[in-house]
Every structure is written in C-alpha cells, then in structure tokens.
Amino acid sequence: MLPLFGFTVRLLLRVLPLAAPLAVVLGTAPAYPTTVERHAIAMHGEPALPAGFSHFPYVNAAAPKGGRLVNGVLGTFDSLNPFIVMGLALPDIRGYVVESLMTRGYDEPFTLYGLLARTITTDDARSFATFTLDPNARFSDGTPVTPEDVIFSWELLRDHGRPSHRTYYSKVTKAEKVGDRGVRFDLSAADDRELPLILALMPILAKHATDAATFEQTSFTSPLGSGPYVVTEVNPGERVLLKRNPDYWGRDLGVNKGQWNFDEIRYDFYRDGASYFEAFKRGLYDVRIETDPARWETGYDIPAVREKRIIKDTVATGEPAGMSGFVFNTRRALFADPRVRRALGMLFDFTWVNRNFYFGDGVRTAGYFDGSELSAYHRPADARERALLAPFPGVVPHDILEGTWSPSRADGTGRDRSALRNALALLGQAGWRLSGTHLVNRKSGERFAFEILVTTREQERLALAYGRDLKRAGIDASPRMVDAVQYDRRRQTFDFDMIQYHWVQSLSPGNEQSFYWGSSAADQNGSRNYMGVKSPAIDAMIEAMLAARERSDFVSAVRALDRVLMAGFYVMPLFHLPDQWVARWSAIRRPAKTSVHGILPETWWRDPEAR
C-alpha cells in the first residue's frame, strides 16, 4: 500500500511559538474600532460565495436523508477525545460531533463561512477578531452555545489541548465577551494574519459538560458538541456508532445543505490489512479508499465489481500531494549529517519497487507540495524566492534553486552499481567506510545499523524492500512491527530511528508548517516535526509565508520553503497516487461535482431505493 493516510483533507491543527501569559476578561467590553461584519473570511482575496448562499457547489442539495454508512478503519482506538495528546482517538469526532465557529469552503484554498458564529469582524491588520454567535446555536443536549463556552474552549485547549492548540491559542492576548452573543479576541501582539481563521476553526466544547481537571485523560465518553451527530454506542477497540441528532440546530444552514445525510454512521475497526480488505468485498463496510496500486489493478476482479454492485471511482483533486517518505530522525547522531541522509536516498530503487509492488502507478514524491502551484519541484526560483533565500547562502544547492534536481532513480534492477558507488562516496565523505560486508564508522568502528518502526504489513513490506537496497551498502536496517497504540506513542515522543509518514498539505498552508518543521516544535512531544529539524532558514520562510498579503507573494514564500526542505534531505521520498481511488458499494452515492479538495464523505448519501 502506498504511504498515504486518509482521503479527506481537513485543516490540520496550526501552530506558532508561544506568546506571553494571557488574561481573560468576561463582561461588558469597551467600544473598539470595527470594520464591517462579514459572513465569511478568506486568507487571501475575497470569499467566493455571498452572504445567504443556499449551498456549496460541490453538494447535492436535494440528497435524501436516511440509512446507515458503515466505515471500515484499519487500526484501533482507545479514546474519543481527539483534542489531547494521550490516546488514539476517532478523528471524526471533530466535525461530526464537535463543531467550530466557522467551516471550510472546500472549493477555495482557505475560506471560512459562518457556522456557530454567524459573522466575523476584523480589521485590515487582523489585530483582533470578533465572532458573533448564531442565536439558534445549541449543543446536542439543547443548551445554547454561549460566549462563555467559546472562551472556556479557548482556555481549555490553550492549557490542556494538543501542542498545536497550546501554541497557537497562546498568541491571543486577551479574550472577552462582547454583548450577549459576541466574543472578541485581541490579537494585537501576534502579528499573524492567519490567526483569525485559526480561531474560527477552534472546536467549541460545552463548559457545563467538560471537566478541565480530567480533560487530558483518555476516555470512551464523547465530548458534548453541537454537531449533527452524537455518539450512541462504543465497543472499545471494535466499533463506534454515531446517530444523527434529530434536533440538530444547523440543519437548514447553507453551509450544511446537502451534507450529513446518513441517519447513522458506524466505524468498524480491523487489526489486519488482509481481513480489512476481505470485509469490504463481503459488504461489511461501504466505502474503501484504496492506496495500493497492485490491489487496485488486480484485487477488485470480483463479481461485485463486474456486476457494478461495487463502483471504482478515480477522482482528480487540485491539492498538493504532500510529502510521503521514510523519515530520518535527526535527533539520532546516525542521521545528523545531511550527506548520510542524501546517500541513503540514493540507494532506494524506486523503479524496482514501483514496478513490482505498484504496477508502475506510483508517482515519485520529490517535494512537499507536489502537483500544485505551490511546488518548487522542477521550477526555477523567481526573484521573490531568491530574495527570501539570500540571507541564507549555501542552504539551497544550485540544482534545487534552478529546478533541475530530482530524487535519485536507480535502474530498476535492484543492483544499480552507479547508485551504490555514488552513495558510498557520500558516506565516505561523512566518515563511513566498508569493512567486509558492513559499513562502519572510521573513528569508532560502530556499524551502521538502525530500526524502521512500522505498524502495518504494507509498511513492513516497503521497509523490507528498502532494507534490501541498504544492505548492498553494508547498512543493516531492520523493520520493527508494533501495534497501532505503541506506534502512535513512540511517534509522538520521537522514540524511533526511522518511520514512514505522510504530511498532508493544503492549497493554503499556514501556521501548521511551524508545527511540521519549525525549530520550536523539534523538541515538543506531539508535534509533527518528526525529523527534528531546527533551521533558521525554514523558520524565516514560514514567517514570510504567514506575513504575505498577496497570493503571488504567498506562493513564492511557500516555494522557497519547499526548496529549503528538499535541500535538507530530511526524508527519503516515497510515492503518491496521481488521483484519489475510491471503491464504494453502489448504494452509496456521491455528488457529480467534486470539490478542489477531493471527495468529502459528509456529502454522500444512501440511495433509498437500493437494497
């Protein structure tokens, strides 16, 4: 299976360096200069849809309601709280059960429309953001959503949430209640134009039903939210059932029309990839996102497909592919030298693996924003990029700056002598030499050996293939299989030599980039800076990206970031798919139009006439 995770790209949690201690003031607020209240906010430019729009263009507004959607999930869970570090949680609690102040428009790079908050007010500098709640907004127990709930959620997640929550919510100077339904966030010290949008996506929890003292503990009790579904059944490690809230307050909003169409959504968990696939073929769950080209090409040659009871969809998206790769943990001395990391990338025989494992369908991942306008791969740097990179001479090699670099490609024989010679030459420069059949350190005599942490058979298969390639250079790379919970715990605490990971990217990357590769996140457990990179150049490119007001400046800053990341060789790039591959039982229908972000299961429905 290709190293991809998930298929709907939700905005990931966003981060920035910690700010000073904060104060919260509840009560009547003084008069502040304001701008016009808006129904929506865009990161760059103007929202595409006007106030009062009837529905998003990528939904079927007349989709019938009813029936059940059964989702199969490979792995397990031990929590229903996705907002904390501890535990492996069901991620769909967010959105389905717990809502935010505003919601994404998935046909735009980064535009938010009112949900719990009917409007947002901010100034040109975005030094504050005031959200005015919809008077109809209710939690699933019928209690109104209040400004006190919003401020409580902000405080709770700032103090007890995931590291990303703690980091970026700490940039708020002050939060206060304004009138009966408003909350004003003072952002004057943040100097961050994205922060109003980040706050708009903050999950809102019920103050009266949430215990701050126990919030960071894993629990099989779902948070109380305002979303269209509530959790009604939990079978630990096996099943979670969501049922539609018949009194859902937001069902008639334009942002919800044509969505949340199933009466029930069930999640069944499978521990083994083979049984997971067999269960789909038997009709035990309804939709499967396929990431294995070999299986896509041959595994669906079954009567249900030939009879069109199972539909195979290929869906193009406009989003970046993101970075899929084997991650070098540079906290380990073994991987501290970029020459070592680059050499290990040379040894991977992409052509052989792609042909033998993936029917040639895999596309080699090179940069961190492949397949989009944000990618620097095979593009020469423009004048804006060069100006941004000028204070960091030598950080980006000439070939990456000019757009001529490509990941090393072996000849597909599994025995490419040229690639081996080039890799050994680099390793020699870094202080390693061959001693018999082992690569050893010239000074210490230590053998070059490390562990690749895996949690699925598909990951193990790819790790074994990579280990075979490394063995030719005298390197001992041993896959270590662990269960999903242990894998997640070790990943969160950076207790690994190498892992396989996929960073999801959007058309409007923002503060989450600091959480991915910022220096402040390198030693922060729970961050996604798995490689442990600390680079002033990367920090500066992220800062430039966040400061950009025009799309053209923004694109140049992201491309400059892409170049610095590629130049560091922090991962051994793997593959991505050219499109989304989705297999679904024919009773499950989807809109004819797909959003630029790809398929969205909240827009699907069950054909009421299907058996």
pLDDT of residue 304: 97
Residues 6 or more apart in contact with residue 313 via CB below 8 angstroms: 580, 581, 582, 583, 584, 590, 599
* Count of helices and strands (H, E) across the chain: 17, 26
pLDDT of residue 131: 98
pLDDT of residue 540: 98
Burial 28-67 (b: 16+ CB within 10 A, else e): eeeeeeeeeebbbbbbbeebebeeebebbebbbeebeeeb
User: Per-residue confidence at 19, pLDDT binned at 50, 70, 90?
Assistant: very low
User: Per-residue confidence at 29, pLDDT binned at 50, 70, 90?
Assistant: very low
What are the structural domains of the chain? 23-44+97-228 (3.40.190.10), 323-407+414-576 (3.10.105.10)
pLDDT of residue 1: 43
Contact 157, 203 (CB under 8 A): yes
Check whether 12 has a pLDDT greater than 50: no
Contact 479, 454 (CB under 8 A): yes
**Token couple for 92:** 């769909």
Distances, alpha carbon 112 to alpha carbons 41, 101, 138, 198, 507, in Å = 5, 9, 20, 10, 14
Contact 125, 171 (CB under 8 A): no
Average pLDDT, stretch 313-336? 94
Q: What DSSP designation does 520 have?
A: G
Query: Within 10 A of 444 (CB to CB), how many other CB atoms are there?
Result: 8
User: Per-residue confidence at 329, pLDDT binned at 50, 70, 90?
Assistant: very high
Check whether 226 has a pLDDT greater than 70: yes
Question: Mind listing the pLDDT tens digit for each residue in 455-507?
Answer: 998 899 999 999 999 999 999 999 999 998 899 999 999 999 999 999 999 89
pLDDT of residue 34: 54
Distances, alpha carbon 549 to alpha carbons 205, 437, 553, in Å = 32, 56, 7
Q: Are strands 588-589 and 605-606 parallel, antiparallel or unpaired?
A: antiparallel
Contact 550, 544 (CB under 8 A): no
pLDDT of residue 27: 37
Q: Are strands 174-178 and 23-25 parallel, antiparallel or unpaired?
A: parallel
User: Per-residue confidence at 316, pLDDT binned at 50, 70, 90?
Assistant: confident
Check whether 65 has a pLDDT greater than 60: yes
Average pLDDT, the chain: 91
Contact 610, 37 (CB under 8 A): no
Please give the model's pTM, rounded to 2 decimal places: 0.76
Question: Mind listing the pLDDT tens digit for each residue in 239-267?
Answer: 999 999 999 999 999 999 999 999 999 99
Share of the chain above pLDDT 70, in %: 94
Question: Mind listing the pLDDT tens digit for each residue in 336-361?
Answer: 999 999 999 999 999 999 999 888 88
Check whether 302 has a pLDDT greater than 50: yes
Share of the chain above pLDDT 90, in %: 81
pLDDT of residue 28: 38
pLDDT of residue 411: 83
Contact 492, 85 (CB under 8 A): yes
pLDDT of residue 32: 44
**Token couple for 468:** 């075979």
Q: What DSSP designation does 214 have?
A: G
Task: State which of 2-6, 112-116, 121-125 shows the largest mean pLDDT.
Answer: 112-116
Question: Mind listing the pLDDT tens digit for each residue in 174-192?
Answer: 999 999 999 999 999 998 8
pLDDT of residue 25: 33
Check whether 120 has a pLDDT greater than 90: yes
E-state strands within 442-579:
449-454, 476-481, 498-503, 571-573, 575-576
Phi, psi of 413 (to 5 degrees): -85, -15
Q: Token match 């699907």: residue?
A: 604
Check whether 89 has a pLDDT greater than 60: yes
